[in-house]
Amino acid sequence: MILSVSRRTDIPAFYSEWFFNRVKEGFVYVRNPMNIHLISKVPINPQVVDCIVFWTKNPKAIMSRLDEIKEYHYYFQFTINPYNQELEVKVPKKDNVVETFKELSKKIGSNRVIWRYDPILLTDKIDLAYHVKYFEELAKRLEGYTRRCTISFVDYYQKTERNLRGTTARELTENEIFELSDKLLPIAEKYGMCLQTCSEKIDLESHGIGHGKCIDDKIVEQLMGCDIKISKDKNQRKECGCVQSIDIGEYNTCGHNCLYCYASFNNDVVAKNRLKHDPKSPLLTGHVQSDDTVRDREVYPLKRENLLF
């Protein structure tokens, strides 16, 4: 199986101690987002975990402990955007984050750190020229430290729209997406990066930008040195190309407080959930209650030689 750590929250930034406790104990409890009283017990050991995919905007807290997962294959989805604290309220300063990116890449290799520049949005102060300028500035500083950059364009879900109320943030028009894509692609290529999109309905193939996979079976196969058998993740949007994974995060728990985030859409709930966090608990927040049901999650390794079908 592939372990996603995590689409729902920044575990490397805020819950690294908890994560390593889960690795040490060999399992994690995950509440079902659609039925909070149903808990899955997911095993964590090198026999069943083929790869770990980390999602983060600041992995500083986890980097000194990566030797504790040396038996595992893993890679990072590392987001660096051009926004200030008006939109990314508690994300560290960009200079610090860029240096952390470089440090991580030096430690584990440029093929295992993917730069995410997403979501792309516009405001009365952030126009296309702004994105072109700062995308190149970041790409220049990250040259040689990553081989891939993933972009996506903001979608106004009801939850994100509520958080962005009071700002001038807006989605890009189709023509703006085409225009910006044509300008970002040569910049990425100039600095040795393959540019791809994430979960986009719009097709940019004719503009030289393909659809990407964040949970990518090809990357996993390269890290493992063998073929795997795995299907598209049916729990994600139709436009998402990701293969199946098990996410161990929880919504409304990230401390970055980014206004555009679909996974943390109520800061009051986030604050309450973070107070309930116990690094020693199998759950990311809180503990198992009397009305909870815990079930073992059936998992299996993905190496073709280990499969019976």
CA-to-CA distance for 255 and 257, rounded, in angstroms? Answer: 5
Task: Say yes or no to pLDDT of 307 above 60.
Answer: no
Q: Please say if the pLDDT value at position 123 is more than 70.
A: yes
- The reported pLDDT for the residue numbered 220 is 97
| Residues 176-226: tens digit of each pLDDT | 999 999 999 999 999 999 999 998 889 899 999 999 999 999 999 999 999
Extents of the domains making up the chain: 2-306
pLDDT digits (tens, 9 = 90+) for 67-116: 999 999 999 999 999 999 999 999 999 999 999 999 999 999 999 999 99
Cα–Cα nearest to 213, from 226, 197, 195: 197
